[in-house]
Structure 1
Amino acid sequence: MSKKNRQVLLAKRPKGLPDDSTFQFVETDIPEPGEGEVLVRTLYLSVDPYMRGRMSDAKSYAEPFKVGEPLTGGVVGEVVKSNAKNLSEGDIVTARLDWADYSVAKEEYLRKVDPDAAPITTALYVTGMPGLTAYFGLLDIGKPKEGETVVVSGAAGAVGSVVGQIAKLKGCRVVGIAGSEDKINYLKDELGFDAVINYKTTENIREELKAACPDGIDVYFDNVGGEITDAVISLLNFHARVAICGQIAHYNDTEIEMGPRFLPYVLKHSILIKGFIVSDYADREEEGMNALAQWLKEGKIKYKENIIEGLENAPDAFLGLFRGDNLGKQLVKVSN
């Protein structure tokens, strides 16, 4: 075991797009677990777009990161010291922990991961927060019915790719929106999307959506916002449902942008628009995890991971989310 613990701190609150100066690396002593606690060695950590919001001090659904303290996020790690009743050295666990080589956590905040059931990284993806977000957002808000058309923005990301596959399992026509030819090909050839639009190369996204959705749009799963959502709204059918999951197009805005006033259209077409976060469904977490794990086991859900090695590269992995670098889930491998 190393004698030092590297940590990634929030150095300052960014204005607009974060950069390298947003982060600070420090070395500290490895902490000792107290009663009922364990010491966890980080194996993989997750980087997610929602973390950008926590870098600001504006009031939101999640407590802001504190300047000068470690960033936190989804982690899969190994218990290396245990003062807990139900966890032993060598157990694999997942939780929201520090961006660090080692973290101390109370037993009740950790969930054991069975490394024989599936690759441990899936606890940060298909059966973790992104998968649960897709499951509840689509099924509880979108309520897709067989034969309906489902449109997903950010379709090649960790959440969007699972949304599209669940919609296919429900017998829907699925149209994805993504930003590179590699992503387009992956969604069509490997995940079975019916149509995919490259928003970076299209001359008119509304017209391409209209062509891809000849019967209109019944369900829209929104990970992006911005001009893409403006185009989708105008094509929604009567009694369409919209799940607002993310707004990555706006996370680095420094001014409020004026968009189309679409509420009259929403009113006339009796459209449901609902924003949500995965913790809204905390009491149903087991339901979602069991369903996703079963689909994964049966090969009904496929996944792709983009893994960058080294804690020192975690900030760049995070910034890559806003460059559109990742295909599937973006992870950082910290140790073996």
Structure 2
Amino acid sequence: MISREIRLRRYPSGRAGADDFVTVERAVRPPAQGEVRVRNLVLSLDPYMRDRMDPMTRYVEPFRLDEPMTGRVIGEVVISRSPGLPVGARVVHQLGWREVAQGPSSLFERLPEDGLPLEAHLSLLGMTGLTAWVGLTQVARMAPGSNVLVSAAAGAVGSTVGLLARRYGAGRVIGSAGGPAKRRLLLDRLGFDEAIDYRAAPIREQLRRIAADGVDVYFDNVGGDHLEAAIDVMRDHGVVVVCGAISGYDAETRPPGPDNLEQIMDKALRLEGFRVSEYVGMMPALAAELAPDIAAGRIESLTTVYEGLDNAVTAFLDLMSGRTTGKTLVRLGP
């Protein structure tokens, strides 16, 4: 059998481009005893993958050159030599950007037969939902009535933070996104109380006006000028949840730090980063809370879906340049 896969051909300098990737065909051998073959159906794309294209990254292991890029995927078992994963079972795994995945059954986790859309297991019930949920409930320990600010609010994690903040009784939910269309999306579809188009004027100036009464929790997906602006409007004993720093992922030199760090002491702020990989054991708790509402149609995630492996690189580049909204997915098969 022949399968196509996408590999990183070279580590990008600055913004990644199509020439940094290559699509390769390779033969797939018959599965050995204890192995399964999986036809991939939906691939998840996330900003952290750009960090993995830096050989010096410390957050996660870098992608290896001339090997298939990894990432979270849902697929269907088509050949099984493992009794625990029969043909037809839907599974999630990390083998990434390829049409067919094969290996020991231990690499694949069987999905529950819950009738939910596959996309839900990569968004609200996947690492995206877990990231937002952990950040708000475990790191920030958000209290009802809190004013919550989130950057990259039209993205996968940011839009989920907004959804969950409202669910947990936030006083005001403020989001920042790039462009007037995304600003309207936050207000009209995602239910944010206030929204900022950070391209319209300096974020620091806008936030001082819109959040003049202060912010209790800032969920940071961007870093840079957004973090600096948020520190200005944090209330005493506020919490900054440091989740990502997408503003610096393409930078060729290390960006300068915020110029107002003394306010961390003055306001007794808490800045705390986290690695969602350390919280995967809480996935069942997340599913127990959200799955019933997803099944009933009371909550849903925002997604941008591309079709086919041929469009995976385009989808990733669009994600990194801000041309997608919500969770970015690539549908690899029916």
* TM-score, reference length from structure 2: 0.95
Q: Distance in 2 between matches of 1:284 and 1:303?
A: 20
The Cα of 1:116 is off from its aligned counterpart by 4.5
Residue number in structure 2 paired with 1:216 = 214
Contact 2:51–2:57 (Cα < 8 Å) also in 1 = no
Deviation digits for residues 215-257 of structure 1, max 9, x if unmatched? 2010000011111211111111111011111111000111112
Deviation at 1:300, TM superposition (A): 4.2
Q: What is the CA–CA distance in structure 1 between the aligned matches of 2:71 and 2:163, rounded to whole Å? A: 25
Q: 1:237 to 1:320 in 2, by over 3 A?
A: same
Describe the superposition over 1:290-314 as per-residue Cα deviations: whole angstroms up to 9, x where unpaired.
Answer: 2232342344432121111110111
What's 1:296 paired with?
A: 294
SS at match of 1:72: coil
Equivalent residue in structure 1 for 2:129, among 114, 128, 131? 131
Q: Which amino acid aligns with 1:6?
A: R
* 2:85 equivalent in structure 1: 87
Aligned mates of 1:292, 1:22 — CA distance in 2: 38
Tell me if the contact between 1:39 and 1:82 (Cα under 8 Å) persists in the aligned partners: yes
Say whether 1:179 aligns with 2:178.
yes
Letter in 2 for 1:152: V
Taking the TM superposition and a 5 Å limit, the aligned residue runs for 1:1-336 are: 3-114=1-112, 116-172=114-170, 173-201=172-200, 203-336=201-334
Distance 2:33 2:51 in 1: 33
Q: CA deviation at 1:134?
A: 0.5
The 8 Å contact of residues 114 and 120 in structure 1, kept in 2 or not, is answered as no
Residue pair 1:240, 1:271 contacting (<8 A) in 2 also: yes
Amino acid at match of 1:16: G
Question: How many positions carry a matched residue from both structures?
Answer: 333
Whole-Å Cα distance in 1 between the matches of residues 103 and 134 of structure 2?
28
Q: CA deviation at 1:98?
A: 2.9
Q: Once the 2 structures are TM-superposed, how far is the Cα of residue 115 of structure 1 from its aligned partner?
A: 5.5
Give the CA deviation at 1:212.
Answer: 2.4
Paired residue type of 2:198:
Y
- Equivalents in 1 of 2:157, 2:301: separation in Å? 10
Gaps of 5+ in 1: none
CA contact (8 A) 2:228 2:259 kept: no
1:63 offset after TM fit, Å? 1.1
Q: Secondary structure at the match of 1:81?
A: strand
CA contact (8 A) 1:154 1:177 kept: yes
Give how far 1:36 is off.
Answer: 2.0
Contact 1:131–1:292, Cα closer than 8 Å, also in 2: no
Counterpart Cα distance in 2 of 1:267 and 1:259: 16
Residues 143-179 of structure 1 show CA distances to partners (whole Å, capped at 9, x for unaligned) of 2112110000011111111111111011111000011
How big is the shift at 1:108? 2.6
TM-score, normalising length: structure 1: 0.95
Cα offsets for 1:16-73 (capped at 9, x unmatched): 1111111011111123322222111111111111011111111413111111101011
Q: In structure 1, what residue type is equivalent to 2:190?
A: L
Change (3 A) 1:33 1:98: farther
Counterpart CA distance in 2 for 1:18 and 1:102 is 25
Q: Take 2:284 and 2:125, find their aligned partners in 1: how far apart are those partners?
A: 10
Per-residue deviation, 1:123? 1.1
Give, as a single letter, the amino acid of the residue that structure 2 aligns with 1:63. E
Partner Cα separation in structure 1 for residue 274 and residue 293 of structure 2: 23
Aligned residues of 2:159 and 2:302 also touching (Cα < 8 A): no
The Cα of 1:320 is off from its aligned counterpart by 0.8
Report deviation, 1:122: 1.1
* Paired AA for residue 46 in structure 2: D
Identity score, percent: 39
SS at match of 2:72: strand
Provide, for residues 57-109 of structure 1, a one-character-per-residue CA deviation record: whole Å limited to 9, x for no partner.
11413111111101011101110011112111111111111311101133233
